[in-house]
């Protein structure tokens, strides 16, 4: 299975012998292209198992049929490989974000570590999931725990929907996301996750590029870490001063007017932007000095790390503060403009109400009023 757990990635292994029919894919799995599609058969550290799975599935794959795992033997390893292969196909067709795939992959790794690679999925009991939840809760807060529980449920729902198991897995009464009460208490214990105007001005003054430009986008448009890391050049209209950028996470349309400071900072950075090493990053606005993207890879969170260094340098210490606090700040201050509909549009929030169904557009004047309100709060002499 691909390793995106944060451990050092060794080089690709050589084939066990010259005639070995599979190749080592970058996702740390043995793979083969059949009928124009990539198929994955197992992790690098198990070439014999991958070869056996290839032999088991070869006839079906070359015939264009979907191979079936024997119903009396769906191991957790087989389930993880089948699930991740299905998600990889969605990534390949731009129907799933690579970031989401990595999260699913990490979840599968943890499942294999906790439950065992050779454990049969149909043999799992409520006690297994009760122990799994208890172990996860030792190190994670309620929000992260809830997200992990949801992903685990998605994995096993896939097994049933894909007819890999005859009946749904029973998780038991306790394998649930934390309640809203628990989430509220955890949030209250951390305190507000926003930056005050004086703190933000200090951060902008002390930040190096491109973090300063990223932070301007964060407070100007309510962008989060992944928003700025994945921002495409094609989303910018620096002549008119706008950014049209659906949220990478949800695809919800989003449009935001840029402050003059933000637009000028973007122009300057693009003039000296490093050349990307990977062709896939050619359209990204932000590239590191090493030619890489700023998008989170594995446990490496470059934007979070740089923000943490800056906060530490300026001795701004509060629980939960980080780059994403800019998004909290924009929502909080922008909401004081008394136009929540315009704030939601800039933030990329989608509300499940009839007004949202019938609303076909929001005027640019309303969007301009919101970002100007935030700018005045941040930069006005009395701020």
Q: Which of 284, 264, 259, 261 is nearest to 274 (CA)?
A: 284
Higher pLDDT, 362 or 326: 326
- Window from 106-120, 130-144, 285-299 with minimum mean pLDDT: 285-299
Q: What burial class does residue 233 get, using C-beta atoms within 10 Å of its C-beta: 0-12 exposed, 13-18 middle, 19+ buried?
A: middle
Whole-number pLDDT of residue 70:
54
Residues 6+ apart with CB under 8 A from 191: 318, 319, 320
Residue 183 tokens, joined:
């989430």
**Stretch 113-119: mean pLDDT, rounded?**
85
Q: What burial class does residue 261 get, using C-beta atoms within 10 Å of its C-beta: 0-12 exposed, 13-18 middle, 19+ buried?
A: middle
Whole-number pLDDT of residue 357:
65
**Stretch 47-76: mean pLDDT, rounded?**
80
Q: Are 23 and 317 in contact (CB under 8 A)?
A: no
Q: Are 54 and 67 in contact (CB under 8 A)?
A: no
Query: Does pLDDT of 309 surpass 90?
Result: yes
Higher pLDDT, 32 or 383: 32
Whole-number pLDDT of residue 4:
43
Whole-number pLDDT of residue 2:
47
Could you report the per-residue pLDDT of 277-294, keeping only the tens digit for each?
988 899 999 999 999 999
What is the gyration radius of the CA atoms in the chain, in angstroms?
A: 24
CA separation (Å) from 247 to 57, 92, 268, 296, 336?
38, 19, 24, 16, 23
- Window from 52-56, 131-135, 153-157, 348-352 with minimum mean pLDDT: 348-352
* Lookup result for tokens 């449009």: 255
Residue 34 burial (CB count, 10 A): 15
Half-sphere exposure of 237 (CA within 13 A, CB side): 9
Backbone angles phi and psi of 301, in degrees to 5:
-125, 80
**Stretch 63-88: mean pLDDT, rounded?**
81
Indicate the pLDDT class of residue 251, thresholds 50, 70 and 90.
Answer: confident
Q: Which of 302, 204, 191, 222 is nearest to 261 (CA)?
A: 204
Residues 6+ apart with CB under 8 A from 299: 5, 6
Q: Which of 50, 170, 73, 162 is nearest to 120 (CA)?
A: 73
Half-sphere exposure of 337 (CA within 13 A, CB side): 23
Distance CA 318, CA 91 (A): 37
**Stretch 95-113: mean pLDDT, rounded?**
90
Whole-number pLDDT of residue 17:
92
The domains located in the chain, with CATH, are: 68-187 (1.10.150.130), 197-379 (1.10.443.10)
Backbone angles phi and psi of 30, in degrees to 5:
-80, 135
Query: Does pLDDT of 141 surpass 60?
Result: yes
Q: What does pLDDT average to over the chain?
A: 88
Q: Are 57 and 50 in contact (CB under 8 A)?
A: no
DSSP 7-39: S--PPPPPPSSTT-S-EE-TTSEEEEEETTEEE
Distance CA 319, CA 314 (A): 15
Sequence length of the chain is 383
Whole-number pLDDT of residue 133:
94
Tell me what percent of the residues of the chain surpass a pLDDT of 70. Answer: 91
Helix (H, G, I), strand (E, B) or coil at 80: helix
Query: Does pLDDT of 352 surpass 90?
Result: no
Distance CA 88, CA 82 (A): 10
Query: Does pLDDT of 170 surpass 80?
Result: yes
Q: What burial class does residue 343 get, using C-beta atoms within 10 Å of its C-beta: 0-12 exposed, 13-18 middle, 19+ buried?
A: buried
Query: Does pLDDT of 105 surpass 50?
Result: yes
Could you report the per-residue pLDDT of 202-228, keeping only the tens digit for each?
999 999 999 999 999 999 999 999 999
Whole-number pLDDT of residue 63:
81
Residue 101 tokens, joined:
């795939």
Whole-number pLDDT of residue 98:
83
Indicate the pLDDT class of residue 301, thresholds 50, 70 and 90.
Answer: confident
Whole-number pLDDT of residue 158:
96
Distance CA 271, CA 233 (A): 12
Entry pTM: 0.65
E strands, the chain, in order: 23-24, 29-34, 37-43, 236-237, 242-244, 255-257
């Amino acid at each position: 299975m691909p390793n995106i757990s944060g451990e050092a990635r060794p080089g690709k292994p050589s084939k066990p012998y010259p005639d070995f029919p599979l190749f080592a894919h970058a996702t740390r799995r043995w793979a083969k292209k059949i009928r124009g599609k990539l198929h994955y058969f197992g992790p690098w550290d198990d070439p014999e198992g991958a070869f056996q799975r290839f032999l088991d599935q070869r006839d079906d794959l070359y015939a264009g049929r979907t191979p079936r795992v024997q119903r009396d033997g769906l191991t957790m390893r087989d389930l993880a490989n089948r699930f991740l292969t299905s998600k990889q196909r969605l990534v390949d067709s731009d129907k799933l974000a690579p970031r989401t795939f990595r999260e699913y992959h990490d979840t599968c790794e943890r499942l294999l570590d906790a439950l065992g690679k050779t454990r049969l999925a149909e043999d799992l009991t409520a006690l297994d999931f009760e122990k799994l939840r208890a172990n996860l809760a030792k190190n994670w807060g309620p929000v992260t725990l809830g997200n992990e529980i949801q992903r685990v449920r998605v994995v096993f729902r896939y097994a049933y929907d894909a007819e890999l198991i005859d009946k749904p897995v029973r998780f038991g009464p306790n394998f649930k996301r934390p309640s809203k009460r628990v989430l509220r208490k955890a949030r209250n214990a951390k305190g507000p996750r926003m930056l005050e105007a004086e703190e933000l001005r200090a951060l902008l003054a002390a930040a190096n590029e491109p973090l300063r430009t990223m932070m301007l986008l964060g407070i100007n448009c309510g962008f989060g870490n992944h928003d700025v890391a994945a921002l495409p050049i094609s989303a910018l209209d620096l002549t008119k001063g706008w950014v049209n950028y659906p949220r990478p996470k949800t695809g919800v349309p989003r449009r935001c007017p840029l402050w003059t400071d933000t637009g000028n900072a973007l122009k300057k950075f693009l003039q000296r932007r490093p050349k990307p090493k990977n062709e896939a990053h050619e359209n990204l606005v932000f590239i590191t000095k090493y030619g890489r993207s700023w998008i989170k890879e594995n446990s490496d969170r470059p934007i979070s790390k740089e923000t943490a260094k800056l906060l530490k340098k300026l001795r701004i210490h509060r629980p939960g503060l980080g780059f994403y606090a800019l998004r909290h700040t924009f929502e909080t201050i922008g909401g004081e403009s008394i136009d929540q509909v315009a704030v939601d549009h800039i933030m990329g929030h989608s509300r499940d109400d009839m007004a949202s169904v019938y609303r076909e557009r929001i005027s640019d004047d309303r969007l301009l009023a919101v970002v100007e309100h935030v700018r005045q709060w941040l930069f006005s002499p009395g701020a």
